[in-house]
Amino acid sequence: MQPSTNPILFDQQTISDEWIDQLYPIKLQKLSGTHWTPVEVAKKAIPFLTEGKRQRVLDLGSGSGKFCLVAATLCKDAQLVGVEQQENLVRLSRKIAAELQLENLTFLHSNLLDLDFNQYDSFYFFNAFEELINLKDRVDKSKELDEITHQSYIQVIGQKFEQTPQNTRIVTYCGECDEIPDSFVLVHTGNKGKLKFWEKR
């Protein structure tokens, strides 16, 4: 089912994986179970990422935009930003955000390595580099496996996290979390250890 041109009612009562997945083309719906953040995970992550005075959240590798769409709906006071390299996914994310009338949400077509992390209070990271080393995790089939690039991305992201101020928070979902510096403390976990909550101390 393609998104309609009419405003769509989207609130905490209607949010579910099935509801939001139907806003995407069939091709992207089939990727949801593997590549897009489950609604349950977004509901757990966003209160931690926006607690206190934290208002600007960056989703590193926003993909279809699902996490940002759910988070922006659940937390109207926060500013959600998703960064994604695949332009077609950015265009689609922007279109759906407009149809859902979410004004606290921005999608950037950019390389996340180019961003200034100090503009944000907290970060969401769903294993964005895995497709560089795992054939089964590729959304962009044109990309080839590249362990060297994978390691360089982890190193640069780690350096960017290290430069953020004290009390910065990160939520990671899946992955080995090699990009998280030692200056961040693991506060708690969920979803059988797949969901991790970090804070810089």
pLDDT at 4: 41
Any domain includes 4? no
pLDDT at 7: 40
Any domain includes 135? yes
Domain count, the chain: 1
Any domain includes 67? yes
Any domain includes 32? yes
Any domain includes 104? yes
Write the pLDDT tens digit of every residue in 118-165: 999 999 999 866 565 455 545 555 566 567 877 888 899 999 999 999
**Alpha helix segments (H runs only) across 36-162:** 39-49, 66-74, 87-99, 147-162
Any domain includes 137? yes
pLDDT at 149: 78
Which range of residues forms the domain containing residue 189?
17-200
Bridge-based pairing of strands 122-125 and 169-173 is parallel
Look up the CATH number of the domain holding residue 119: 3.40.50.150
pTM of the model: 0.86
Quick one: DSSP state of residue 45?
Answer: H
User: Can you tell me which residue has the tokens 């690039």?
Assistant: 149
**Which residue, 199, 112, 192, 193, is CA-closest to 160?**
112
Residues of the chain where predicted confidence (pLDDT) is lower than 70:
1-14, 128-146
End-to-end CA distance of the chain: give it in Å, rounded: 45
Write the pLDDT tens digit of every residue in 98-109: 999 999 999 999
Any domain includes 10? no
CA–CA gap between residue 83 and residue 113 (Å, rounded): 10
pLDDT at 9: 47
Any domain includes 23? yes
